[in-house]
Amino acid sequence: MYLNSEKKVELFSTYGQGAKDTGSAESQIALFTFRIKNLTEHMKQNRKDHSTERALTGLVGKRRALLNYLKSRDINRYRAIVKALGLRK
């Protein structure tokens, strides 16, 4: 499996306040970004997989909502996570 518990701990410790910080906006955005990248690669190879396409669209929407929330609450945290993950916006 591409996303095991060790990878999650690594993501949470890198982008959150610690390895146990699973609920902060930054750690959730990092997790969604990792999943989006993997699903995007899958969609490049399997263009007719509509259920995966729907899941990918939902994940992008969830990440966008979290980014909007973070932008409205703390612009410095928003800018830091966008820069760290290399997102366009």
Is 43 within the bounds of a domain?
yes
Is 19 within the bounds of a domain?
no
Decide if pLDDT at 51 tops 60. Answer: yes
pTM score, whole prediction: 0.91
CATH of the domain at 68: 1.10.287.10
Per-residue pLDDT tens for 21-48? Answer: 889 999 999 999 999 999 999 999 999 9
Share of the chain above pLDDT 70, in %: 98
Q: Domain of 76?
A: 26-85
Question: How many distinct structural domains can be found in the chain?
Answer: 1
Is 46 within the bounds of a domain?
yes
Is 8 within the bounds of a domain?
no
Alpha-carbon distance of 79 to 76, in angstroms, equals 5
